Chain A
């Protein structure tokens, strides 16, 4: 089992490495420069996959939290911990690349009228809170329970945040910057985008597995120390 895990990780590492290289090539050399927005549009190939992976990560936190409360299996707690940590990085990528794009497209770093940006800001705050909560509890089992409850509360909040922010501006006159109009992607742009999406997802799975592995070792060391009575 342990051997197989290692092999899978090596395979994932190679896959992530190669697909990221290909994604970089497709993004910067192969795909065309978008006519209206120019070179800045290329952020799209990192921004959107980052957003997708962050969402996937937080969804895993949610599922693992429910499973933990159901079965009280500490493995599930480790999964949600690892997933939240890795997810925060991808969420941060989204939050950094968004304003960089916005600076060129809208002429300002942050636009409170843009619902996606707002949603990811709240998402980021929710899961930073999740990690802060984890840090603030010493007892393992108690921490797992609290984190699981907050993991459920946070994810249940996500659709509500999205709906409320979307409708917040609905009846207001909003010039509406045309964000990555979906129909407007040419085949070469589509290829670059999907390869990048794949690369980000593989990278996420790899990072998640490595983090889970590390957390398991930490857990084991703690158990061994307890056994030795230190």
Chain B
């Protein structure tokens, strides 16, 4: 019980700092918006079909997530807040879960605002056909990104290259998530009979559980000094 309480306190702290600085959210959202414009001009004169649009959307979400994830520990590190958190009498994994859930929260909000924007710019309403299922896919996909991303972000922040290293470490690990969310989203948008949604859904859940477990077990070694 105390475990969950501490996690909630940590999330509250992150949300509060974010509400004051609006640093992560603004940069993530603007990034999504600008990349969308870039893609539209890059593909000018070409028909963007639904499959391509889904791929573009998830690629942009992934890049935007990296932006947010890399910021998530920089603040803690620069202000010495991480040391403060480490001397609190809680389990180290509390810090991980607090951060991971906080990151998941930010990524989801950015996605939730961006999806209608995608529909608008690509004049494609099929994105919003089944909002509840779409939210489920967004949730599981973003959980995958934030579960691995938070662990790797805590690692890269302590290296010489800092946030430069995060995408290099994260992208190869995140490929299974990218494949399954793109498949699932295409299924929701086009109802492609060749896609088996149950398989990909279960696959995504297994992925999330595996990496949450690994992060839970190894996080204490990452921030231990």
Of all chain A residues, the one with the shortest Cβ separation from B196 is A171
Give the number of residues in B that approach A within 8 Å (Cβ atoms).
Answer: 35
Q: Give the shortest distance, in Å, between B142 (CB) and chain A (any CB).
A: 17
Residue A12 interfacial (CB < 8 Å): no
Tell me if A129 and B168 are in contact (CB < 8 A): yes
Of all chain A residues, the one with the shortest Cβ separation from B167 is A129
Complex interface: stretch among A102-110, A144-152, A182-190: A144-152
> In the assembled complex, which residues on chain B have CB atoms less than 8 Å from the CB atom of A148?
218, 221
**Cα distance, A149 to B155, chains bound together (Å):** 9
Tell me if B221 and A157 are in contact (CB < 8 A): no
Complex interface: stretch among A16-24, A47-55, A75-83, A158-166: A158-166
Residue A153 interfacial (CB < 8 Å): yes
Give the number of residues in A that approach B within 8 Å (Cβ atoms).
Answer: 30
Residue A156 interfacial (CB < 8 Å): yes
**Cα distance, A138 to B160, chains bound together (Å):** 8
Q: Which of B169, B175, B221, B222 contacts A122 (CB 8 A)?
A: B175
Residue B39 interfacial (CB < 8 Å): no
Whether A160 touches B155, Cβ cut-off 8 Å, given contacts A122-B175, A165-B179, is no
> In the assembled complex, which residues on chain B have CB atoms less than 8 Å from the CB atom of A126?
172-173
**Cα distance, A168 to B218, chains bound together (Å):** 30
Whether A164 touches B172, Cβ cut-off 8 Å, given contacts A149-B222, A150-B155, A153-B151, is no
Of all chain A residues, the one with the shortest Cβ separation from B183 is A168
Tell me if B158 and A164 are in contact (CB < 8 A): no
Tell me if B160 and A69 are in contact (CB < 8 A): no
**Cα distance, A1 to B151, chains bound together (Å):** 40
Residue A178 interfacial (CB < 8 Å): no
Tell me if A145 and B160 are in contact (CB < 8 A): no
Tell me if A160 and B169 are in contact (CB < 8 A): no
16 A-B pairs besides A152-B214, A157-B172, A163-B203 with CB distance below 8 A are A125-B172, A126-B172, A132-B169, A137-B158, A145-B222, A148-B221, A149-B155, A153-B218, A154-B172, A156-B210, A157-B173, A160-B176, A160-B203, A164-B180, A171-B194, A172-B194
Top-8 shortest CB links A-B: A136-B159, A171-B194, A164-B176, A125-B172, A160-B176, A164-B179, A126-B172, A149-B218
